Chains A and B, each alone.
Chain A
Amino acid sequence: MISDAELILASRQDPQAFRELYDRRADDLLAYFYRRVLDPEVAADLLAETFAVAFARRRRFRDVGRPGGAWLYGIAAKELSHFFRRREVEKRAIKKLGVVVPALDRESLDRIEALIDVDAHRRSLAAALQQMSAGDRDAVELRVVEELGYTEIAAKLRCTEAAARTRVHRGLARLSNLMEANS
């Protein structure tokens, strides 16, 4: 099997080699981002920007025996750091590349949300949840802890399904901020 490093080197001449690298690493990177920002849309933008930056810098990659994935995660960490500093995703590389990031459909949202490993984050989640407003906390707990669907959350919160989705995402974004501040 061709290594990640070989794919990166090959992509200098054959851009489709970078697609293969993307197919290998995208799910894991998306999970990496989502566990840290707890917002699927932000995680999706970070994923797109990371691969756009990596593609732009592929000629700088040198095979020094470390896994090519480590190089990719280095770029991912920098993008994440920028997001936490500025509270917005740097989108310069995707704009330069002319990529339109697709909208997240419902199935994708559900699958991305399933990437959270609640047990691993239980302690920091509990601390952050205590600092949230009751409204935000209810929405997040119904979705993440009780794992209810948006129809059921809407019924419990007495709002529309779209509003329930918005409240959950807003709550998760605030939860992410609190967890980052507490860490």
Chain B
Amino acid sequence: MSQIPFVNQLGDALEEAFITASPAPRRRPTRGRRWIVPAVVAVALAGGAAAASTLFNSTKLAVDGIGCYAGSGTGASQTFDVYGPSPIAACRRVFRAQHSPLGDPRVKLIACEGGPGPLVMVFKAQGQAQCHRLGLSSLPGSYAPAADRVAALDRALLSLVRGRDCVAPAELSDEVNAALVRLGWSGWRAKLLSSTGQTGACANLGFNSSGAPDPSGSLDATNRVVIIFRGQ
């Protein structure tokens, strides 16, 4: 509790809005995410630390998602939590849904890498060397195969919870670990987030803003874990 009455009142107003804005997780998901890309796993993984590092960085980029900027610089309004092997196509769909002029395929877009994270960022294209001018880098060629690989994992994780009323945390954890091994995600593991005081009998992966299962929100590339949440 704050000594400032306003702070407590604002906290109450925000908490109510947070709860209203967060749909309750569905036990029987009716729809999942649709990916158009085939489940191609793995770039021709050349051995060596440099290749492994490049793969890790690209995987992290793919896991962390894309920022779609409705302008030619980082000051433009943004939409995050967008995923896909082609950032420009993914943002084009977002812009179209937002009725933005950038949804028009005649308007050129450009994808860069950088910023905090770093992150894949898509802007309205404006001349040569735009990424460099913005202090960013060009998108690495290894991004698309890494995004395909993340999409395959995403689908595998989604299949673990689809149509199941309740999965015990330990059971889901084992299944996630098995999926990681099967798909070649070496060094990754399931992590049950148990520090939030929730002790529910059912476990969940992430959910998107529509309440549909969305494993992307469970992937943590920095710590190489798939986070499993306990229900209330």
A binds B: yes
Q: Which of A2, A16, A18, A62 is in CB contact (< 8 Å) with B221?
A: A62
Q: What are the interface flags for A56-74 relative to B under an 8 Å C-beta threshold, 1 for contact and 0 otherwise? A: 0101101111000000001
Nearest chain B CB to A13 CB, angstrom units: 4
Q: Which of B13, B64, B227 is in CB contact (< 8 Å) with A60?
A: B64
Give every chain A residue within 8 A of B81 (Cβ-Cβ).
59-60
Q: Does A151 contact B (CB under 8 A)?
A: no
| Interchain CA distance A62-B59 in the complex, whole Å | 14
Q: Does B22 contact A (CB under 8 A)?
A: yes
Q: Does A48 contact B (CB under 8 A)?
A: yes
Number of A interface residues at 8 Å Cβ cutoff, please give it.
46
Q: Which of B4-26 contact A (CB under 8 A)?
A: 4-7, 9-11, 13-15, 17-22, 25
Q: Does A104 contact B (CB under 8 A)?
A: yes
| Interchain CA distance A51-B17 in the complex, whole Å | 11
Main SS of the interface on chain B?
A: mixed
A104 touches B6 (CB 8 A): yes
Main SS of the interface on chain A?
A: helix
A63 touches B6 (CB 8 A): no
Task: Determine which residue in B15, B20, B204 has the highest number of CB atoms from chain A within 10 A of its CB, and name it.
Answer: B15
| Interchain CA distance A99-B11 in the complex, whole Å | 10
| Interchain CA distance A11-B25 in the complex, whole Å | 13
Say which one of B95-103, B125-133, B191-199 lies at the interface with A.
B191-199
Give every chain B residue within 8 A of A107 (Cβ-Cβ).
4-5
Nearest chain B CB to A155 CB, angstrom units: 27
A10 touches B195 (CB 8 A): yes
Q: A2-B195, A6-B196, A16-B18 are in contact. Are A111 and B13 (CB under 8 A)?
A: no
Q: Does A105 contact B (CB under 8 A)?
A: yes
Closest Cβ neighbor of A55 among chain B residues: B18
A15 touches B21 (CB 8 A): yes
Give every chain B residue within 8 A of A59 (Cβ-Cβ).
80-81, 206, 217
Give every chain A residue within 8 A of B222 (Cβ-Cβ).
62-65
Closest Cβ neighbor of B209 among chain A residues: A59
A6 touches B195 (CB 8 A): yes
Closest Cβ neighbor of A99 among chain B residues: B17
Give the size range of B's interface with the partner: 35 or more
Q: A16-B19, A57-B80 are in contact. Are A23 and B2 (CB under 8 A)?
A: yes
| Interchain CA distance A104-B223 in the complex, whole Å | 42
Closest Cβ neighbor of A10 among chain B residues: B196
Q: Does A117 contact B (CB under 8 A)?
A: no
A26 touches B15 (CB 8 A): no
Q: What are the interface flags for A118-133 relative to B under an 8 Å C-beta threshold, 1 for contact and 0 otherwise? A: 0000000000000000
Give every chain B residue within 8 A of A44 (Cβ-Cβ).
6, 10
Give every chain A residue within 8 A of B196 (Cβ-Cβ).
2, 6-7, 10, 14, 17
- B residues contacting A by CB (< 8 A) are 1-7, 9-11, 13-15, 17-22, 25, 64-65, 77, 80-81, 116-117, 193, 195-198, 204, 206-207, 217, 220-223, 227, 229, 231-232
**Known contacts A14-B198, A108-B5; 11 further A-B pairs (Cβ under 8 A):** A2-B196, A14-B196, A15-B15, A19-B11, A44-B6, A47-B7, A47-B10, A55-B21, A62-B64, A98-B17, A107-B5
22 contacts between A and B (CB under 8 A): A2-B195, A13-B207, A13-B229, A16-B15, A16-B18, A18-B18, A23-B1, A26-B2, A27-B7, A44-B10, A59-B81, A59-B206, A60-B64, A60-B80, A62-B220, A63-B220, A64-B222, A92-B77, A97-B14, A97-B21, A99-B13, A99-B14
